[in-house]
Amino acid sequence: MARKLALLLVAAVALCFGCSIAPPGQPQPTASTAAAVDANPAIAVYDSNSPKVVNINTLALVRTSSGVAAQPQGVGTGFLFDTDGHIVTNDHVVQDANQLLVTFKDGTATPGELAGRDPYLDLAVIHVDRLPGGVQPVTLGDSDRLRIGQTALAIGSPLGLQQTLTQGIVSAVRLPDQDPSSGAIDLPAGAIQTDASINPGNSGGPLFDSAGNVIGVNTAILSQSGGSQGIGFAIPINVVKRVVPDLIQYGIFRHPQLGIAGLPLATIGRQTRQQLGIPSDLEQGVLVLQVSGGAQQAGIQPGSMSGQPGGQPTLTLGDIVVALDGRAVGTPGQIIAYIEGNKRPGDSVTVTLVRNGQRTDVPVTLGERPQQP
C-alpha cells in the first residue's frame, strides 16, 4: 500500500512539474483560464449566499450523576428568511431538541428559539436575537417555473461539514402520487428531485438556482445505504412562502382537509368496474371509500372495501369524485394537492361527483387537518 501511495504521489508531482515547466513550443496556462474558472456561476452563488446559511446544532437535556447536562443530539442546516432573525429549516432537525445553537459562516454562534413547526411538510422556523453585521436574507425564487435539467446548488452541513457546496441539476419535479418511495417519504406536490449531493446534515438547507435564488428546502434522500445516491428531494419554495409566514405569526400552519379517502378508478380492473356499474366512459376519478368532516356533513356517500389480507378485495360502489372547482382529479394525491395549494380551513370547494351514473355538484366546507404533536 505504501509503494502504491508513493507512486501516486510521484505521479502527482510529475504532473505538477509538467504544468510549470512546459517543453519549448507548448502553450503555458494563461490568465483567461483562471478567469473562466472564476466565471463559474456556482462560485458567485456560494460567495453571495453562504453567509446567509447557518449550521444548526441540536442539544438534548440528559440527567447525569451531577445534575442535568446538554448533550449533542444532531446537526442540520437552515437559512435566514428575513431581517427579524427568522431561520427556516426542517422540522425533523429540531424535533425533540431541548436547545438549539445556530452558527453563522463567520463563527457567530447564538442560541435559537423554536418559533413554529409543521410536521406534515417537515418545515420549522427558528428565531435568533442576534445576526452578524451585514448578513441579509436569502432571495426566494419561483418553484413553479422550474425546468428539468437546470442547475441546482446546495449549501449545507453534510455529516457536520459546515458551509459545503454541492452542485447538480433539477432531475424531476414530482407530481401528486408520483413519489417513488411508496410512502417512505411524505413529500408535497411539486417536490424537487435533484442529483446534487444531499447527505445527513444538509437537512433544512437551501437549494439554489444558478442565479442564487432559493428554489427549495432540502429535506430527504432516497437511499439504501443512508448516504447520498444521487436522489435528493427538496420542498418547493412556493410551498415555503405559503407556510412560513403562518409559522412565524402563529407557530403552526392550519392545513385544510376535505374528508375523503378513496381509490383511483385507474386501479380498478375492467371486470370489477362492470360489476360495480361504473360508466364505461368514466376514465378517471376517485371512488370514495371513507368520509369525515366536511365531506360527511355535505352528504357525500362512501362505498366500501372488504376482504381477507392477500385476497381479492370486495368493493361496493359509492360516490366518485371527478373534479374540484371544475378541475379534474383522478387520484387522492391530486385531491390533497389541490386543497393544500389553494384552500384554507373554512373555505368552500365544489366537489363534482358521479352518483348513480349522474354528475352532480356538491359544495363542501373544508375542515382542518389534526395538528401533529
Known catalytic residues are 92, 122, 203
Q: Are 36 and 121 in contact (CB under 8 A)?
A: no
Closest-CA residue to 322 (of 265, 363, 269, 256): 265
Which residues, listed in sequence order, are joined to residue 329 by a DSSP beta bridge? Answer: none
Q: How far apart are the first and last CA of the chain?
A: 54
Q: Which residue carries 419561483 as its cell?
A: 142
Write b or e for each residue in 352-362: b if 16 or more Cβ atoms lie within 10 A of its Cβ, otherwise e: bbbeeeeeeeb
Which residues, listed in sequence order, are joined to residue 57 by a DSSP beta bridge? Answer: 75, 101
Closest-CA residue to 192 (of 212, 210, 211, 214): 214
Interatomic CA distance for residues 307 and 204, integer angstroms: 42
Which residues, listed in sequence order, are joined to residue 348 by a DSSP beta bridge? Answer: 365
Interatomic CA distance for residues 181 and 105, integer angstroms: 34
Interatomic CA distance for residues 265 and 334, integer angstroms: 13
Interatomic CA distance for residues 279 and 320, integer angstroms: 11
What is the DSSP code string of 277-297? T--TT--S-EEEEEE-HHHHH
